[in-house]
Structure 1
Amino acid sequence: MGSHKSLFAAALFVCMLAGALAEDPYLFFDWKVTYGTIAPLGVPQQGILINGEFPGPVINCTSNNNIVVNVFNYLDEPLLLTWAGIQQRKNSWQDGTPGTMCPILPGTNYTYKFQVKDQIGSYIYFPTTGLQRASGGMGMLKVHSRELIPVPFDMPADEFAVLLGDWYNKGHKTLKRILDSGRSIGKPDGIQINGKSSSVGDAAAQPLAVMEPGKTYRYRVCNVGMKLSVNFRFQGHTMKLVELEGSHTVQNVYDSLDLHVGQCLSVLVTADQAPKDYYLVVSSRFSKKVMSTVAVIRYKNGNGAASLSIPPPPAENRAGIAWSMNQFRSFRWNLTASAARPNPQGSYHYGKINITRTIKIANSHAVVDGKLRFGINGISHVNTETPLKLAEYFGLGDKVFTYNLMKDEPTEGDNKLALAPSVVNATFRNFVEIIFENREKTIQTWHLDGYSFFAVAVEPGRWAPEKRKNYNLLDAVSRHTIQVYPNSWAAVMTTLDNAGMWNLRSDMLERTYLGQQFYFSVLSPENSLRDEYNIFPTQQLCGIVSGLPMPAPYH
Structure 2
Amino acid sequence: MASMRGGMMMIGAALLLCLSGGALAEDPYLFFEWNVTYGTIAPLGIPQQGILINGQFPGPKINCTSNNNIVVNVFNHLDEPFLLTWSGIQHRKNSWQDGTLGTMCPIMPGTNFTYQFQVKDQIGSFFYFPTTALHRAAGGMGMLQVHSRNLIPVPFDTPVDEFALLIGDWYNKGHKTLRKILDSGHTIRRPDGIQINGNSGKVGDSTAQPLFTMEPGKTYRYRVCNVGLRTSVNFRLQGHTLKLVEMEGSHTVQNVYDSLDIHVGQCMSVLVTADQAPKDYYLVVSSRFFKKVMSSVAVIHYTNGKGPASPELPPPPPENSAGIAWSINQFRSFRWNLTASAARPNPQGSYHYGNINITRTIKLVNSHYLVDGKLRFGINGVSHVDGETPVKLAEHFGVSNKVFSYDLVKDEPPQAQGDKVVLAPSVVNATFRNFVEIIFENQEKTIQTWSLDGYSFFAVGIEPGSWSPEKRKNYNVLDAVSRHTIQVYPNSWAAVLTTLDNAGMWNLRSEMRERAYLGQQLYFSVVSPARSLRDEYNMPTTQQLCGIVQGLPMPPPYTI
Q: Normalising to structure 2: TM-score of the pair?
A: 0.95
Paired position in structure 1 for 2:244: 241
In the TM superposition, what are the counterparts of 1:361-510 in structure 2 within 5 Å? 361-415=364-418, 416-510=420-514
Q: What is the deviation of 1:327?
A: 0.2
Residue identity in the other structure for 2:487 = Q
Question: 2:432, 2:351 → 1: CA distance?
Answer: 19
Paired position in structure 1 for 2:175: 172
Residue identity in the other structure for 1:454 = F
Residue by residue over 1:157-211, the C-alpha shift from the partner in whole angstroms, topping out at 9 and shown as x without a partner, is 1010000000000111110011000011111000000000010001111111100
Contact 1:361 1:436 in 2 (8 A): yes
Contact 2:75 2:113 in 1 (8 A): yes
Secondary structure, in 3 states, of the residue corresponding to 1:389? Answer: helix
Question: 1:317, 1:50 → 2: CA distance?
Answer: 38
In the TM superposition, what are the counterparts of 1:318-333 in structure 2 within 5 Å? 318-333=321-336
Question: 1:466, 1:549 → 2: CA distance?
Answer: 51
Secondary structure, in 3 states, of the residue corresponding to 1:207? Answer: coil
Question: 1:376, 1:26 → 2: CA distance?
Answer: 39
Paired position in structure 1 for 2:138: 135
Residue by residue over 1:416-450, the C-alpha shift from the partner in whole angstroms, topping out at 9 and shown as x without a partner, is 21101100000000000000000001110000000
Contact 2:120 2:345 in 1 (8 A): no
Secondary structure, in 3 states, of the residue corresponding to 2:322? Answer: helix
Question: 2:350, 2:94 → 1: CA distance?
Answer: 20
Residue identity in the other structure for 1:419 = L
> In the alignment, is residue 117 of structure 1 matched against residue 91 of structure 2?
no
> In the alignment, is residue 531 of structure 1 matched against residue 503 of structure 2?
no
Question: 2:174, 2:250 → 1: CA distance?
Answer: 35
Question: 1:153, 1:236 → 2: CA distance?
Answer: 22
Paired position in structure 2 for 1:16: none
In the TM superposition, what are the counterparts of 1:8-87 in structure 2 within 5 Å? 22-87=25-90
Question: 2:557, 2:28 → 1: CA distance?
Answer: 26
Question: 1:374, 1:320 → 2: CA distance?
Answer: 26
Residue by residue over 1:386-428, the C-alpha shift from the partner in whole angstroms, topping out at 9 and shown as x without a partner, is 0000000000000000000110111133222110110000000
Contact 2:380 2:417 in 1 (8 A): no
Paired position in structure 1 for 2:230: 227
Paired position in structure 1 for 2:298: 295
Aligned with residue 253 of structure 2, among 243, 246, 250: 250
Question: 1:455, 1:290 → 2: CA distance?
Answer: 28
Moved more, 22-31 or 532-541: 22-31
State the percentage of identical aligned residues. Answer: 81
Q: What is the deviation of 1:117?
A: 0.3
Contact 1:166 1:190 in 2 (8 A): yes
Q: What is the deviation of 1:22?
A: 4.1
Aligned with residue 202 of structure 2, among 194, 199, 209: 199
Question: 2:267, 2:149 → 1: CA distance?
Answer: 20
Residue identity in the other structure for 1:439 = Q
Gapped runs of 5+ residues in structure 1? 1-19
Secondary structure, in 3 states, of the residue corresponding to 1:345? Answer: coil
Question: 1:417, 1:283 → 2: CA distance?
Answer: 35
Secondary structure, in 3 states, of the residue corresponding to 2:211? Answer: strand
Larger Rg over CA atoms: 1
Paired position in structure 2 for 1:551: 555
Q: What is the deviation of 1:312?
A: 1.0
Contact 2:382 2:426 in 1 (8 A): yes
Q: What is the deviation of 1:21?
A: 6.8
Residue by residue over 1:463-510, the C-alpha shift from the partner in whole angstroms, topping out at 9 and shown as x without a partner, is 000000000000000000000001000000000010000000000000
> In the alignment, is residue 107 of structure 1 matched against residue 110 of structure 2?
yes
TM-aligned CA distance change 1:162 to 1:554, over 3 Å:
same
Paired position in structure 1 for 2:96: 93
Q: What is the deviation of 1:342?
A: 2.3
Question: 1:398, 1:344 → 2: CA distance?
Answer: 33
Gapped runs of 5+ residues in structure 2? 1-22
Secondary structure, in 3 states, of the residue corresponding to 2:116? Answer: strand
> In the alignment, is residue 339 of structure 1 matched against residue 350 of structure 2?
no
Question: 1:422, 1:321 → 2: CA distance?
Answer: 31
Residue identity in the other structure for 2:99 = G
Secondary structure, in 3 states, of the residue corresponding to 2:472? Answer: helix
Paired position in structure 1 for 2:11: none
Question: 1:288, 1:228 → 2: CA distance?
Answer: 12
Question: 1:204, 1:101 → 2: CA distance?
Answer: 45
Q: Normalising to structure 1: TM-score of the pair?
A: 0.96
Residue identity in the other structure for 2:533 = L
Contact 1:342 1:478 in 2 (8 A): no
Question: 2:114, 2:24 → 1: CA distance?
Answer: 25
Question: 1:221, 1:342 → 2: CA distance?
Answer: 22
In the TM superposition, what are the counterparts of 1:354-365 in structure 2 within 5 Å? 354-365=357-368
Residue identity in the other structure for 2:465 = G
